[in-house]
Amino acid sequence: MSTREAPIDHYLRLLGGRLRGPARLRRDLLTEVRDSLRDATEAYRECGLDPIAAQRRAVAEFGAPDRLAPAYQAELTAGQGRRLALLVALVPVAMLTADLMWWQPPATTPSAPSGFLLLVQALDWASYAAGALALLALLLLGPAGRRWPIAPRGVVRPLAVVALVVGGLIWALGVFAGVNAVRESPAALTWPPMITAWIMLNATFGLLTWLTVRAIAATGHRPIPA
């Protein structure tokens, strides 16, 4: 600890360095810890301790960062999982925009191969299954998680893997459909429904990938108690 760093600040820096998850939730947790330590410090100062000694006493009784970090990390993991689950639950709705890619200028209406249409239908059902899993995850990371001892990591990691696989397949399908439509008819590049679908596809699954990576990072960060 730096000679100029207060014991509480040093403690918060050590604890914060062991946590991964949504920035706002992480900041709120650390603020709660800071407030608790300050309250304890004030109590010890009223007992006659000087400010630094009071902070050291408060920090010592609060518990070592390595011992407390797993509990805080579990809360952050649950928060990250809820964010991901909310987006995955909307995947079936987002899939409806894929139909826009089949809207073509009146002069060109290419038909899709039957095998491709079967793949589209399979991915539709995969998106429904992913959406159902996301709703279950929301339940387990919310009300049910407060009733039963459910480890957030055991819920968030499977959801993240499913989201990554299903999201990647749907994105690849959308790219293939878009490229094929342009190859069949270059006019599709200026066709508003195609442009709208392309923007929505990339925005939705770009966000999905980002949240999935963050969720995997949160579940993979497990401090070891001292």
Spatial separation of the C-alpha atoms in residues 201 and 85, rounded to whole Å:
18
Q: What are the pLDDT digits (tens) for 210-221?
A: 999 889 888 875
Tokens found for residue 193: 């429904």
Which is nearest to 53 in space by CA: 64, 62, 41?
Answer: 41
Spatial separation of the C-alpha atoms in residues 83 and 200, rounded to whole Å:
19
pLDDT tier at 17, thresholds 50, 70, 90: very high
How many CB atoms are located within 10 Å of the residue 166 CB?
A: 22
> Are the beta carbons of 22 and 80 closer than 8 angstroms?
yes
pLDDT of residue 226: 39
Q: Which residue has the tokens 């407060």?
A: 146
Say yes or no to pLDDT of 39 above 90: yes
Spatial separation of the C-alpha atoms in residues 54 and 115, rounded to whole Å:
72
pLDDT tier at 225, thresholds 50, 70, 90: very low
Q: What are the pLDDT digits (tens) for 150-206?
A: 788 889 999 999 888 888 888 887 777 777 777 777 776 777 777 777 787 788 888
pLDDT of residue 106: 46
Domain ranges for the chain, please list them: 7-63, 79-220
The secondary structure of 67-103 as a DSSP string is HHHHHHHHHHHHHHHHHHHHHHHTHHHHHGGGGGGG-
pLDDT of residue 29: 95
pLDDT of residue 93: 78
- The pTM of the full predicted model, rounded to 2 decimals, is 0.76
> Are the beta carbons of 178 and 101 closer than 8 angstroms?
yes
> Are the beta carbons of 187 and 105 closer than 8 angstroms?
yes
Q: Does domain 79-220 have CATH number 3.10.20?
A: no
Q: Is the dihedral of CA 205, 98, 136, 125 positive or negative?
A: negative
Q: Which residue has the tokens 């730096």?
A: 2
